[in-house]
Amino acid sequence: MNPLQEYSSLLNRRHFLSRSAMGLGAAALSQLSPAFGGLHFAPRAKRIIYLFQSGAPSQLETLDYKPGLSKLHKTELPDSVRQGQRLTGMTSGQTSFPIAQSRFKFTRCGQSGAWVSELLPHLGGIVDDLCIVKSMHTPAINHDPAITLMQTGSQQPGRASFGAWASYGLGAENEELPAFVVMTSRGSGLPAAQGLLSRLWGNGFLPSKHQGVKLRGTSDPVLYLSNPAGVSREMRRDMLDGIGELNQQLLQELGDPETNARIAQYEMAFRMQSSVPELTDFSQETAATFDLYGEDARRPGSYAANCLLARRLAERGVRFIQLYHRGWDQHGNLPDHISKQCQDVDQASAALITDLKQRGLLDDTLVVWGGEFGRTVYCQGELTETNYGRDHHPRCFSIWMAGGGVKPGIVYGETDDFSYNITSDPVHVHDLQATLMHCMGIDHQRLTFKHQGRYYRLTDVHGDVVQKILA
């Protein structure tokens, strides 16, 4: 027997309904996706721009001001503060844990009076648009599981990414572009930074059409999107029509939703042949725009260029826009490295908020900035008058948000005098995910997908919406 026919004959009614694009899964989705008729409640944000700072920025040098450390500089971190916390293999062998005060000054900014480092002057200038959360925490202590948790809701690989969940639950606003787009940039503070794996923007067990589409900063923005030499657009259309007919036959025979996803991806790729070149063409951007974002925005693939591209994607209705900026893993020579990293992101991040605001897009665009964990108050390696490093610290770290659904000009959560433990209003990674989904009109407990016999969601079995930061 033909293997495909044999497989088809084994499909019983229950199996077919569970796998079919028009089966029970689609019926459940119809209760959520706008394409089928509604959200769980009125959204404040139509889209998210997630500026992920891969490698973990030090909260002590950016947003969590601890002036009392100047008197404790070079003294041992008290055991009563450390409380036996597990350490990474990079500092577990240290016999001394000397406190390292930040070398950078902080000033009160805006009407809110929030403390912001001198490394972030442009963000200080728009601090009244920001919601700063200083009490983030995570159970993960190393980069890969921590980043995976932030992006997929699990420390273990294989789950669907946040952007994929947004695409699955909300659908696309623009038929010419994917619902989920990803960009990466390399920081100047630590150019040889750890890599980023594509599974961080993968679809996991969700249909493959929900995976993130990566835009590159060099050559063709999307791999394999352009027609090869000698192939016209008309020839491509004829070829896709033929492939589409074959896939439709396969879908009718086997009822596999991945066949439906394949059809949709072919059609999206065809439309993107026109939409992507227009999207990535900055020639119509004004000199004032480049003054706002900085000259680096003219360099494709830079963080600044990606921020400008994020604004253009937001204008075109892309649901989830993910930027990864590498280079924050500063175990040594932190003062030099973090100065360069902040110079990479400060002006462009502030410009993105300002640009969205002046175009009327900030009210329904939620921007998130932050890494996977924080940095230790104690020094990793040798502490000198001018140099120090900081190890991974999952017990507290800082992020900021702006735009659709969150209160502007507030600081939420507090840490102790060492920025080591949270003293009020802790926010777990799953709480953040639940809150972001809430801003987009999704109840994180109700957006689920059945896989291998159980229902999964982005927040697993955890997460509470942080009501106090909602506008």
- pLDDT tens profile 237-254: 777 778 878 888 888 888
Residue 377 has pLDDT above 60, yes or no: yes
Between CA 27 and CA 21 the distance in angstroms is: 9
Residue 124 has pLDDT above 70, yes or no: yes
- Residue 169 vs residues 32, 34, 38, 182, 393: alpha-carbon distances, Å: 6, 8, 10, 18, 33
Question: Tokens 């503070």 identify what position?
Answer: 189
Integer Rg of the chain from CA: 24
**Can you give the pLDDT at residue 13?**
45
Residue 110 has pLDDT above 60, yes or no: yes
What confidence tier does 38 reach under pLDDT thresholds 50, 70, 90? low
Residue 26 has pLDDT above 50, yes or no: no
**Can you give the pLDDT at residue 10?**
45
Between CA 400 and CA 412 the distance in angstroms is: 10
Between CA 211 and CA 203 the distance in angstroms is: 4
Residue 11 has pLDDT above 80, yes or no: no
The enclosing H or E element of 315 equals: helix 303-315
- 168 Cα distance to chain centroid: 16
Q: Where are the domains of the chain?
A: 3-60+137-363+421-469
Single-letter amino acid, residue 324: Y
What confidence tier does 264 reach under pLDDT thresholds 50, 70, 90? confident
Between CA 217 and CA 182 the distance in angstroms is: 11
Assess contact for 345 and 371: CB atoms under 8 A: no
Enumerate the β-bridge partners of residue 399: 133
pLDDT: is 20 or 455 the higher one?
455
Strand, helix or coil for residue 105: coil
Between CA 110 and CA 408 the distance in angstroms is: 11
The enclosing H or E element of 214 equals: strand 213-214
Q: Report the pLDDT averaged over residues 34-38.
A: 45
Q: Report the pLDDT averaged over residues 362-378.
A: 98
Between CA 326 and CA 227 the distance in angstroms is: 32
Assess contact for 333 and 389: CB atoms under 8 A: yes
Residue 75 has pLDDT above 80, yes or no: yes
Among candidates 415, 423, 405, which has minimal Cα distance to 44? Answer: 405
**Can you give the pLDDT at residue 28?**
42
Least reliable range by pLDDT among 162-176, 200-214, 230-244: 230-244
**Can you give the pLDDT at residue 6?**
47
In terms of Cβ atoms closer than 10 Å to its own Cβ (0-12, 13-18, 19+), residue 121 is middle
Assess contact for 439 and 402: CB atoms under 8 A: no
**Can you give the pLDDT at residue 36?**
38
Residue 68 has pLDDT above 60, yes or no: yes
**Can you give the pLDDT at residue 67?**
97
How long, in residues, is the chain? 471
Question: Tokens 């019926």 identify what position?
Answer: 27
Q: What is the pLDDT of residues 428-441, one digit of tens each?
A: 999 999 999 999 99
Between CA 36 and CA 27 the distance in angstroms is: 9
**Can you give the pLDDT at residue 244?**
77
Average pLDDT, the chain: 90
